[in-house]
Every structure is written in C-alpha cells, then in structure tokens.
Amino acid sequence: MEETKLNQLSIFMNPEVTGSIVMKHIILLLFFLFRNIFIFSQEGVRVCSEKENENFNLYMDNANVCPVSIVLKLTLLNIKCIEPCPETIVVPQKSIKFKMGSFAVADLKKPANFNYTYKWTLGDMTKKHDDSYGYYLPFEKGKQYLLIQGYNGQSSHKNQNSLDFNLPQGSIITAAREGVVAKVIDNNTQACPEERCKQFNNYVQVYHTDGSFAEYTHVIQGGSMVTVGNKIKAGQPIARSGNTGYSAGPHLHFMVYKPNENDFTTIETKFKVDSSIIFLKPGEKYVRNYD
C-alpha cells in the first residue's frame, strides 16, 4: 500500500484486483481547503477533485474509446451530497471532467470525514445484452469450420460461455458484430495448454452498443488488422488466427461478456446459420454463406 499526501489530503491506494482498479481514499479535513487536487490516473482514467465556491466536486476523465463504469460507495461524516449520488456511474468515452458528485461540509465548525471506495471497469454495466441479436460466424464467407468446444465445455470452458473454432493458423478472423475496437494485444509468441500461459494470449476486443464485449483470442503474432478506436462492421476482417497463450493448437477462442462489479459474466450468443439464428453445437461444422 502506498500513501501520498497532497495539500493535507491523504490518499491510500490498493493494487489492481481482477481487472478492475480498486481505490480507497480517506479524507480527514474540511473541503474548503481543497483546490484542484489530482487523485489518480491509470489506463486512460483520471480522477481529480476541484473546489467550486464552498463545494467539492469529484471528476473523472475517461480517455478510453468506450464508457467506464464506476461503483462508488460513500461513508460521509458531516458531509452532504448536493447532487444525486448513484452507486453506479457510467462515464462516457472520451470524457473530460465528467462530474461524479458534488459535496459540501454540513457544519463548518465541526470536523468532516469523507470516506469512499470505488471500482471501475471498461464498459457500461447498466445496459442489458441484446439476447435476440444474431452474431455472424467469425470467419470469411464461404469458409467452413468445426466447432471443437462449446459453452461450458469439459476442457478449458468449464463455467464459461465461450466457443472454440478450429481455424488453422493464419486464417482470417472476421467481426461477429459491429462495434468499436477497445483493445488489441498481438505481440506474444508463446503458447502452452496450461492456464499459466493466459498471460501470453493475443486478442482483439470489441465493444458493442449494448454494453457487451466480444473477445477474439489466440491471434497470431502481429496478426491484428485493426487498431484501438476503429469502428468495425459485422463480417469485417479484424485479425488472423494463431496459437498463442493458453492454447494446445491453432484455433479461435470466441467469447462475449458483460462487465460487472466483481469481474465479468460470459453470455451465450446465437449465430446466423443459413436462414436461421441458432445456438451452435460442438462437433458440428458451420459455413458462413452470407456477407
């Protein structure tokens, strides 16, 4: 744990937990002393405080290409929240000085204690996945591939709604749904059939309008065809498949998930197959015959 003191403001920071950043701030002085205090910055997110007359505002900058969800929990002593203070706050993409709350000391003659914790994660946790959406098969038109592992599979998909397609190394991966590219990792070369190799996964992550993400994993080194911030269409080539990370051989690992307060929830999705929209079955071959 690190401690930083700025203008008599004590800030206590905890390390990263399961992909979300957890921060604990304990403030033990009156807010009218505060002026433009920087609090925290990491992964495109910056939190700062600013005095406005006798009030204290909490802001966030979000430089990411998708929204950020924050779960804010307050413990206030002689502090009142002037504006509605929802527990879950969604900060839009590319936001500058998005106000998360405005506060004031209730009685200036008494000590004030402002104690809060928050977690943040990429995406909009308040939205509901569109379960009726028909995803494109994530490979080129005219190609046919075997689904080698399905939802909650007995190998590496236990308690996880994800799919494995047997795409040979170098095969083109296409977007299963339109969205914006949120993250790209394609610099790794290592692979092994053990969880310890997850750290070497290459992948492309796409954010959808309903708050969900799609992740296309085991991309070959240098195989991404897109960059962060690109808007993509369903069926568009985005990468080449490979054998990187937690993998026993070349294939495409495909997963759709929604972020939540603690981590994320994987989602069973339906796909366009011929003229139908269906759930895919492991052991079956599927061909994409549409643009």
pLDDT in tens, 117-155: 778 889 999 999 999 999 999 999 999 999 999 887 677
Residue holding tokens 């506060």?
103
pLDDT per residue rounded down to tens, the chain (291 residues): 122 222 222 222 222 332 333 333 333 333 333 334 444 445 788 888 787 877 888 888 999 999 999 888 888 889 888 877 788 899 999 999 999 888 888 888 888 887 777 788 899 999 999 999 999 999 999 999 999 998 876 777 777 899 999 999 999 999 999 999 999 999 999 999 998 999 999 999 999 999 999 999 999 999 999 999 999 999 999 999 999 999 999 999 999 999 887 788 999 999 999 999 999 999 999 999 999
Give percent above pLDDT 90 in the chain.
59
- Cα separation, 88 vs 120, in Å, equals 10
Provide the pLDDT for residue 42. Answer: 57
Average pLDDT over all residues of the chain: 83
- Cα separation, 147 vs 227, in Å, equals 27
- Cα separation, 160 vs 91, in Å, equals 28
Q: Are strands 245-246 and 191-192 parallel, antiparallel or unpaired?
A: parallel
Residue holding tokens 């106000």?
99
- Cα separation, 46 vs 40, in Å, equals 6
Provide the pLDDT for residue 130. Answer: 93
Q: Which amino acid, 213?
A: F
Q: How many beta carbons lie within 10 A of that of residue 158, not counting itself? A: 8
Give just the sign of the alpha carbon dihedral 79, 84, 90, 96: negative
- Cα separation, 5 vs 95, in Å, equals 27
Give just the sign of the alpha carbon dihedral 145, 151, 153, 157: positive
Residue 92 tokens, joined: 């839009």
Provide the pLDDT for residue 115. Answer: 76
pLDDT in tens, 41-55: 457 888 887 878 778
